Structure formats: structure tokens, C-alpha cells
Structure 1
């Protein structure tokens, strides 16, 4: 296919534009008017909920009783681990928290870069 044949196809595509039927346009307009009427109607007001106390509000914010059960379990586990810490836990914390950094660790020397050989 050369450029003239392609141009002929493009020209045919530009001129042969189908128009929608009147029945289709009428159905589209009918649907649009029905949707406009539905959107213009006021939204239904939800029924008022009874107001609870402060604890009920906090409980609702965190996710209800299932979330409160998980929170209580995690809190009790934290207290238990803090009170009766296992022996291996002390070695881990001593390794992590016992070592410190010196200024020379943060700014290494250039000796390795300046070697000749």
C-alpha cells in the first residue's frame, strides 16, 4: 500500500460519517431527562441514631467490640512481656542498644581511596 491509497482510505473514512437515528436520539434524551429528575429530587434523610456517651463514641471510632478485644489482648501481652521478660530478650536489647557510634564511624577516612598500587 502506498501513500495515495492510504490517503484515499482516510478521505473515505472522513466523508462516510453515519448519523444516529432519531429513535436513538429520543431514547438518549428520555434517559437524560429521567436522570435529571432523579438527581433533582432531595436525598432521603437517614433516621437519627441515638447518641451514646463518650465511651460509645470512642468504641465506634476504633471499630467496635472486635477491635477493642484485639486492643485489650495486645495491651495484656505487652504488660506480660514487660513484667516477665525472657532471658534471651536481654541479650538482644544489649546488642542493639549497648553499642554506640563514634564520629569516626560517621565520617570514614579516605585511606582506602588514596592507596597506590
Structure 2
């Protein structure tokens, strides 16, 4: 690791080594002052709150709120509603445009959708 460090530092390596060797140590007085200032800034501890009873927790939220929280909240519920509406639309809409594409009488459409022919499947052993 030292060789890699010296290679990265290049010509400045002697000055970096001198700086590392003469690292100043913090005085005891300064450390004591910093500790006192840090302890003065710390907030006073608050008393522990009494644990809630299970009845109070049930009254706060019902099964709908718990289910909504388990699913991920309102953004996830909006996604589920959108997916449900899309599924209902796909199920209720008449797929007349799709049946034209998949009509067995038009061989060009079938080869456009499926480039492999029956011969290709026979050669694959499928």
C-alpha cells in the first residue's frame, strides 16, 4: 500500500511523509472543552411513553387502513385500480382489430407475426 501511495503522490511524497510524521496531537484542555460543549448541546432525555394498549391501536385504524398500509399506501392503490380498470377494458372491448390480424386466411399476416414456419419447428423437433 505504501508503494502505491508513493506512486500516486509522485514528487510530493517527501512533503506528505513529513506532514504525516509531524501530526499535531490535540491538547487535553481542548478535548475537555469540546466534550463539554458537545454535552451542553445534547437534548435532555425525555421520559419513556407508556405503551399503548391493543384496544387503542385497533380504534386508531381498521382493517381497511391496515390493508392499505400493507399494500404500500395510496400510490400503490392507485396502481391497482388502474390495472383493474385496464383489465376490465381489455375484457369488455371488442377485439375486432386483433381478429383481422390473426385471421388464418391471410398467410402474410401469420408469417409477419411468426417468422418461423412449420418446417423450422419440424427441424427443431418441436
TM (norm. structure 2) is 0.43
* Structure number having the greater helix percentage: 2
TM (norm. structure 1) is 0.45
